Structure 1
Amino acid sequence: MDIEARKRVAVVGGMRTPFVKAGTAFSDLSQLTLSSHAVRGLLDRFPVRAEDVDLLVWGRVLHDPRISNLAREIVFDLGLPPSIRAHLVSNNCITSIHAITDVADAIEQGRSDIGVAGGVESMSTVPVLFGQEAGAIFLRAGMAKSAGERFKSLLRLRPRHLFPEPLSFKEPSTGLTMGQHAEVTAKEWNASRREQDEIALASHHRAAAATVDGRLKAEIHPLRGIDQDTIVRGGTSLEKLAGLRPGFDRSEEGTITAGNSSPLTDGAAAVLLMSEERAAAEGLKPLAFVKAVEYAAIDPAEGLLMAPAVAVPRLLQRVGLTLDDMDIVEVHEAFGAQVACNLAAWEKGWKEPAIGGVDRERLNPLGSSIAVGHPFGATGARIVSTLAGEMARRGSRYGLVSVCAAGAMAAAMILESP
């Protein structure tokens, strides 16, 4: 369908929990609790009747086997009308971009007028995994028809069975963690430690400033008395960042540290989307409109986090815009290295023609994932909400979202002003 002929999808606003480091303030809160809090904050913030919401699409990366369709359980947990269609999506760090795309597509095609999209991650409450042998014993005991059979099954347990297997963040296809992949890419693209630390420093300083002046806090629904992101370090410096030891390549050539990487984070984020006509009927002024979305995938051997170097040029070409047309460029900060390498690929060209450089003043003006935090399934929604809000404040014409994802994939989105 021609882009200009589509029904316009309005980003009315977003709300989220504070983002906190895993294992701290929200360590006992479930995915459902965090998710419901973000959605409740959204519906409380904007004057929309719950019965008028058609669709809720939610995302997560680390799955709780006890709740297969978390999206639907949010509807029930909040006592929302059971007529709201709800489904779950999952694709690593671009999960909630997929959720936004699903809702936007439904609105464009007339299946919905009002929808909620977002996602969650609770790194503090990840499932505990046991080995296959232990799992088979527990399963057999659980399916036993009598106490005697259950006891007999459990007698097969040995001490080795009682040690859970740690959750691995290695790529199944490569056996390397995302950080190890980022180190490889940093060396291939000559992304220096200093450049990575400078990206991290800007993220913290800008997020701190946006917290103090209220721009970031405006999108946060306070939880447990916390009304701001707790990972932001406005007092950090290049000297402090330079003093941190590499975490993935511990040799002298290692460049990626805890300081220039996004932290494990708990949090949830929600975005309210409407058709342009419905927003006008409700008397709501959109922050921005979704102009176009692009997804891309490459071979992990070419760079696990380099797919934005494909997605963004393709998106700009498709809509007939340039990187210079983007007043704000929001690049997810999985690692400072990944940001530096993708910016270099855009400027030099790689798999797609060069699209030019990014003025660092337009890059992540409120900070991004290194400082704010990165709950995998929530990050895309957080970035879209932050970008739309800042575009409205500045009167920007266009804004770009770029998010990389495990599995060597990426999403890119352009927002335009009302």
Structure 2
Amino acid sequence: MSINLKGRRVAVVGGLRTPFVKAGTYFKDLSPLAMSTHVVGEMLSRYGIEAESLDDIVWGRVIHDPRISNIAREIVLDLKLPARIRGYMVSNNCITSAHAIANLADAIAGGRSQAGIAGGVESMSQAPVLFGRDASRIFLEVGRASSLKHQVKALLHLRPWHFRPESLSVKEPSTGLSMGEHCELMAKQWQISRQTQDEIALRSHQRAAQATADGRLTAEIAPVKGIDRDMIVRGDTSMEKLGALMPVFDRSERGTLTAGNSSPLTDGAAGVLLMSEERAAREGREPLAFIRDIQFAALHPDDGLLMAPAMAVPALLRRTGLSLRDMDIVEMHEAFGAQIACNLAAWEQGWKDEAIGAVDSAILNPLGSSLAVGHPFAATGARIVTTLAGEMARRKSRYGLVSICAAGAMAAAMILERD
């Protein structure tokens, strides 16, 4: 699937996010809605946006709270924004906010919208607790009971084992394997060494630490609870420290994926402010970049669960008439160090599509990425676009490439450009 923005140009005016923190720590008491409204509210304030000028809020999440079916609309109402602002939710694993951006960009290019905010949120700290089907059936009977007598009768069917919660599974429903287990298979197939994976992780932490120290990463953060930086970045890590970690998905001597070269479970929210070029010009705003084009791709999990970027990026470059050499910055989501290495190899060698060449490590994730910063599933796409657009503006770059893999064997690719 591709989205070719042939209508009005869509400007990335700005982006903002919470700090990203390890699940179960600093934000464990913050709801996804609270993190989301914080980002949207702060974005309106920071960029001086009149709420009346917004048309849409498109927001996503992956771990769903059944009590809030449409978090985007609740952001509008929670912030007491004009009720006419349309808000709707999207969800597609790690490319969720890439879809949110694509949907909003398509609406702006097509003239259905002038300005809006797209993004996503994830709270792994507040993942819903599930009960088994038998317990759920009994609780539903209690809820539907018309009298206390019938409620008690239904409750008498409960047994001690019914109260054992079932944690959300991170396994692929179609294969029964987790993303990490799938990535181990990819690493073996593509012969990606443990050292290569650890080197990618080390570089990510070092660059993220530097970008935090010099203010490039903190510039895109709206502090929360006194926290003004990503709390997962470890600037003092080393190959020795990373090498001491044990494999977590394949615990045999052949395992290579560890907690150090895999992205952590993370809480956070991120959003991107998009406008038509005309609206931005009318308001005297200088866009960070423009969205040139967007591509989505999918393959069978047996071919490599996280290998769809090897299809999405070549297809996007081919359709736009651009090459990998034209890209000044390449932002790849770091689900795992092995996933980065596998897709880089596929781009260079050719795989299910033609070879597109090698990526210079100097332009790859220059501010670090998900291994160091963190990966709140539905927020990652908006975080990457924010980081890329900001760095392109600082460097006055011409082109930037986004590549994001996702569970379900899917991917998103996006090209940003500047005049």
Q: TM-score, normalised by structure 2?
A: 0.99
**What residue in structure 1 maps to residue 338 of structure 2?**
337
**What residue in structure 2 maps to residue 190 of structure 1?**
191
Q: Distance in 1 between matches of 2:43 and 2:306?
A: 31
- Cα deviations across residues 158-191 of structure 1 (Å, max 9, x unaligned)? 0000000121100000000000000000000001
Q: Which secondary structure state, in structure 1, belongs to the residue aligned with residue 232 of structure 2?
A: coil
Q: Quote how far apart the aligned CAs of 1:147 are.
A: 1.4
Check whether the contact 2:3–2:295 (CA below 8 A) recurs between aligned residues. no
Q: Quote how far apart the aligned CAs of 1:2 are.
A: 11
- Cα deviations across residues 12-66 of structure 1 (Å, max 9, x unaligned)? 0101110000000000111100111111111111011001100010000010000
Q: Which secondary structure state, in structure 1, belongs to the residue aligned with residue 361 of structure 2?
A: coil
Q: Quote how far apart the aligned CAs of 1:143 are.
A: 1.0
Q: Quote how far apart the aligned CAs of 1:4 are.
A: 7.9
> Is 1:87 aligned to residue 88 of structure 2?
yes
Q: Distance in 1 between matches of 2:105 and 2:4?
A: 13
Q: Which secondary structure state, in structure 2, belongs to the residue aligned with residue 270 of structure 1?
A: strand
Q: Which secondary structure state, in structure 2, belongs to the residue aligned with residue 361 of structure 1?
A: helix
Q: Which secondary structure state, in structure 2, belongs to the residue aligned with residue 29 of structure 1?
A: coil
Pair 253,101 (structure 1): closer, same or farther in 2 beyond 3 Å: same
Q: Which secondary structure state, in structure 1, belongs to the residue aligned with residue 169 of structure 2?
A: coil
Q: How many residues in Structure 1 have an aligned counterpart in Structure 2?
A: 418
Comparing 33-42 and 260-269, the one that deviates more: 33-42
1:159-308 matches, cutoff 5 A = 159-308=160-309
Q: Distance in 2 between matches of 1:38 and 1:336?
A: 29
Q: Which secondary structure state, in structure 2, belongs to the residue aligned with residue 15 of structure 1?
A: strand
The letter of the residue matching 1:18 is: P
Q: Distance in 2 between matches of 1:180 and 1:94?
A: 20
Q: Distance in 2 between matches of 1:322 and 1:380?
A: 22
**What residue in structure 2 maps to residue 320 of structure 1?**
321
1:122-141 matches, cutoff 5 A = 122-141=123-142
Q: Which secondary structure state, in structure 1, belongs to the residue aligned with residue 362 of structure 2?
A: coil
> Is 1:101 aligned to residue 102 of structure 2?
yes
Check whether the contact 1:106–1:112 (CA below 8 A) recurs between aligned residues. yes
Pair 174,387 (structure 1): closer, same or farther in 2 beyond 3 Å: same
The letter of the residue matching 1:308 is: P
Q: Quote how far apart the aligned CAs of 1:373 are.
A: 0.4
Check whether the contact 1:208–1:232 (CA below 8 A) recurs between aligned residues. yes
- Cα deviations across residues 392-416 of structure 1 (Å, max 9, x unaligned)? 0001000000000000000000000
Q: Quote how far apart the aligned CAs of 1:6 are.
A: 2.4
Q: Quote how far apart the aligned CAs of 1:157 are.
A: 0.6
> Is 1:13 aligned to residue 35 of structure 2?
no
Report the identity percentage.
69
Q: Distance in 2 between matches of 1:382 and 1:114?
A: 19
- Cα deviations across residues 220-259 of structure 1 (Å, max 9, x unaligned)? 0000000000000000001100000000000111000000
Q: Distance in 2 between matches of 1:95 and 1:113?
A: 22
Q: Distance in 2 between matches of 1:211 and 1:4?
A: 34
The letter of the residue matching 2:183 is: A
- Cα deviations across residues 252-279 of structure 1 (Å, max 9, x unaligned)? 1100000000000000001000000000
Check whether the contact 2:3–2:293 (CA below 8 A) recurs between aligned residues. no
- Cα deviations across residues 263-320 of structure 1 (Å, max 9, x unaligned)? 0000000100000000011111000000000000000000000000000000000000
Q: Distance in 2 between matches of 1:285 and 1:166?
A: 46
In structure 1, stretches of 5+ residues that fail to align are: none
Q: Distance in 1 between matches of 2:164 and 2:286?
A: 54
1:310-389 matches, cutoff 5 A = 310-389=311-390
**What residue in structure 1 maps to residue 112 of structure 2?**
111
Check whether the contact 2:15–2:272 (CA below 8 A) recurs between aligned residues. yes
The letter of the residue matching 1:294 is: Q
The letter of the residue matching 1:64 is: D
Check whether the contact 2:5–2:109 (CA below 8 A) recurs between aligned residues. no
Q: Distance in 1 between matches of 2:293 and 2:75?
A: 28
**What residue in structure 2 maps to residue 412 of structure 1?**
413
Runs of 4+ in 1 over 4 A off after TM superposition: 1-5
The letter of the residue matching 1:367 is: G
Q: Distance in 1 between matches of 2:179 and 2:6?
A: 40
Q: Distance in 1 between matches of 2:322 and 2:257?
A: 34
Q: Distance in 1 between matches of 2:234 and 2:206?
A: 7
The letter of the residue matching 1:74 is: I
Pair 363,212 (structure 1): closer, same or farther in 2 beyond 3 Å: same
Q: Which secondary structure state, in structure 2, belongs to the residue aligned with residue 274 of structure 1?
A: strand
Q: Distance in 2 between matches of 1:242 and 1:351?
A: 33
Q: Quote how far apart the aligned CAs of 1:92 are.
A: 0.1
Check whether the contact 1:333–1:369 (CA below 8 A) recurs between aligned residues. yes
The letter of the residue matching 1:9 is: V
Q: TM-score, normalised by structure 1?
A: 0.99
In structure 2, stretches of 5+ residues that fail to align are: none
Q: Distance in 2 between matches of 1:99 and 1:140?
A: 38
Q: Distance in 2 between matches of 1:41 and 1:288?
A: 21
Check whether the contact 1:35–1:74 (CA below 8 A) recurs between aligned residues. yes
Check whether the contact 1:306–1:342 (CA below 8 A) recurs between aligned residues. yes
**What residue in structure 1 maps to residue 153 of structure 2?**
152
The letter of the residue matching 2:278 is: E
**What residue in structure 2 maps to residue 76 of structure 1?**
77
Check whether the contact 1:16–1:41 (CA below 8 A) recurs between aligned residues. no
- Cα deviations across residues 332-388 of structure 1 (Å, max 9, x unaligned)? 000000000000000000010000000000000000000000000000000000000
Comparing 1-10 and 225-234, the one that deviates more: 1-10
